[in-house]
Amino acid sequence: MRFHWALLGALCGGLVCAQTPEVAEVARAKAGMEKLRELVEAGAAPRAQLDKAEDVLADAEDVALLRKTLYGSDLTDEQAEAMLAAAGRRVERRKRDLEQGRQLVKEGVASLLSLGTFLEEVDRAKKEYDLAESRARLVRELAQMARLEDHLQQQLDQAPSDAHEIAERFDGNGLFSERLFRRIEQAYEIQFAKPLPVSAKGETAVHRALGFDHRGRVDVAIQPDQREGVWLRQYLEENDIPYFAFRKAVPGKATGAHIHIGPISTRIVRGG
């Protein structure tokens, strides 16, 4: 990715070698902004330069956030929303840069060719936003599935007879393992010539945030009554593997239809 550091380059000092690239970029932006603030207060630099420095800092902070979340392996629902907001702000900044570039061309200060760079930056930011939006959507879906399982657990504790309205339950022999999961994956790929659409394998940030122990469980993003879901449930039953088939939404709770393979998730017991 490209960043606009020209304004601050002459004002930034050395950085600690142990800093990560994103931390270094934020540190440079902060250092440059503070230097400019001193110059502006002394009347040696225009306020517009400080405004630009503040914008560069905000952009660097958003880039640091995106590097941790957009390409990270595990997110909570809240982190996903923060990631999407950061990507959206970067799109707006690139659009603003493009408009400023067009104004310079209109005034005869810059050539039309100079807009190429701005257009590339806008396109890059939009692609980044699309990726963030896709990732956030997957995290939201996972959160919906986890909340649905949470609601089922509450029903099993409080009103077991009503639990069947939330999910179809098959206890099998109560056993599920990594070896069994590999067999399920292989059988599914042979049957449908595509990978099993796993949404959560084991513990995730979403489950931890909800206080769920999801270790040794797998959630599959399949509607239980579609062709693939019917086949998967039959396969699990034939092999005596426990599962919960979530097929209907719970008003005000969750909408994430899926098949949970393994025993129901339990609450995390925290030491105190």
Show pLDDT as tens, one digit a residue, over the chain (272 residues). 333 333 233 323 332 333 566 677 777 777 777 777 777 777 777 877 777 888 888 998 999 899 889 887 789 999 999 999 999 999 999 999 999 999 999 999 999 999 999 999 999 999 999 999 999 999 998 888 888 888 888 888 788 877 777 889 999 999 999 999 999 999 999 999 999 999 999 989 998 888 888 999 999 999 999 999 999 999 999 999 999 999 866 655 556 889 999 998 877 655 54
CA 51 to each of CA 3, 101, 244: distance values in angstroms, whole numbers, following the listed order: 16, 17, 55
Q: How far is CA 13 from the centre of its chain?
A: 34
Residue 159 domain flag: no
pLDDT digits (tens, 9 = 90+) for 52-96: 888 888 998 999 899 889 887 789 999 999 999 999 999 999 999
pLDDT, residue 5, reads 30
Residues 122, 250: Cα–Cα separation, whole Å: 40
Residue 35 lies in a domain: yes
* 16 lies in the same domain as 134: yes
Half-sphere exposure of 37 (CA within 13 A, CB side): 8
Same domain, 91 and 208: no
3-state helix, strand, coil in the chain (%, to 5): 60, 10, 30
Q: Cα(255)–Cα(30) distance, rounded to whole angstroms?
A: 43
Q: Residue 105: count other Cβ atoms within 10 Å of its Cβ.
A: 15
What pLDDT does residue 97 have?
94
Q: Distance between CA 260 and CA 4 in Å, rounded?
A: 47
In terms of residue numbers, what domain contains 48? 9-140
Mean pLDDT of the chain: 84
Residues 209 and 127 in one domain: no
Does the residue 25 lie in any domain? yes
Q: How many domains, the chain?
A: 2
**Three-state SS at 239:** coil
CA distances from 187 to 59, 181, 237, 256 (A): 47, 10, 14, 24
- Asked, for residue 162, whether it belongs to a domain, the answer is no
For 243, the token pair is: 């599962």
